[in-house]
Amino acid sequence: MSKRGRAVIVDDDNDARETLMTVLRQAGFEVHGAFSGSEGVEAVREHNPEIVIMEVDLPDFDGIEASRRIRTFSDAYVIMVTGLTDEADTLMGFEAGADDVLAKPFRPRELRARIAAMFRRPRTMTSAADLKNTCKDANTGRSPAGPASPTDPAGPASPGRGTAQESFGPRTPRTGNPDRWDFEYKGLTLHEASRSAAINGVPVELTRTQFDLLLILVKNGRAVQSKTDLAQQLRKESYDTGSYVSTQEQRTLEVHLGYLRKKLGDNSRAPRWVETVRGVGYRMAL
């Protein structure tokens, strides 16, 4: 198998599919192609790829439905590709679990850059059942099944450009200890190692990007994070690299944050957790 892993390309346009497959092969992937939504879902099930690139407009059912089905069994990165410019398609793509939506036409270099950024982020999916067990164990003080884990001593707060103060809410991180949450604030709890989130003990199903954004905001507490800050941290880049963040990336972040708030049941006008600082960025609310 290729060092970069496997990729599945789903597109009913033979030329477009072959072009994408060539780009991914050149990037070091073992590549598999599919013509329709149903073929794409089965190809993902069979090959267990690290990344799926899928056209929205497919002959049997669309890429949005295919993405929903893939998300029931796979944690692969999903990039939706579309020639449509309707913002509703972009929103539906994210809601279906896509990690990114790329508008045609695009340059192969841009696609490779987006894939590289994704691969700098953890590739982990926690099932609903695992989340419920984690919440139950955390609330009862019991460790999950398996060898008992010793209690980690309190360590320094996770680094960030701002500090998550104890008076603000997030507690000292205890990453690695499965029966302790890393952060807790107003009933919202996060466990970084298992990438679990819950509100008052009830699991919250977040996409990879939604969890990453929430974790960044919680770690930085009341320090405002601009869209550029958030994009660079999602890429695992230092905030002072000066790397370019496009307008499309910033709009994509706004969409992800909107869905994050929706999942949390948060109100942007009277936020409980995620606060917008108009014209500046985002931070955790008081």
Q: What is the Cα–Cα distance from 207 to 224, expressed in whole angstroms?
A: 23
Beta bridge partners of 6: 30
The answer to whether 31 and 9 have CB atoms below 8 angstroms apart is yes
CB neighbour list of residue 267: distance below 8 Å, 6 or more residues apart: 261
Burial of 36 (0-12, 13-18, 19+ CB in 10 A): middle
Tokens for 245? Answer: 């963040």
Residue-wise pLDDT tens digits, 70-128? 989 998 999 988 876 556 666 777 777 788 888 777 888 888 988 988 887 765 544 33
70 phi and psi angles, rounded to 5 deg: -65, -40
pTM, 2 dp: 0.51
Domains and CATH numbers, the chain: 6-119 (3.40.50.2300), 128-284 (1.10.10.10)
pLDDT of 17 above 70? yes
State pLDDT tens for residues 39-77: 999 999 999 999 999 998 888 888 888 988 998 999 899
Which residue type sits at 53?
I
Question: What pLDDT is recorded for position 231?
Answer: 85
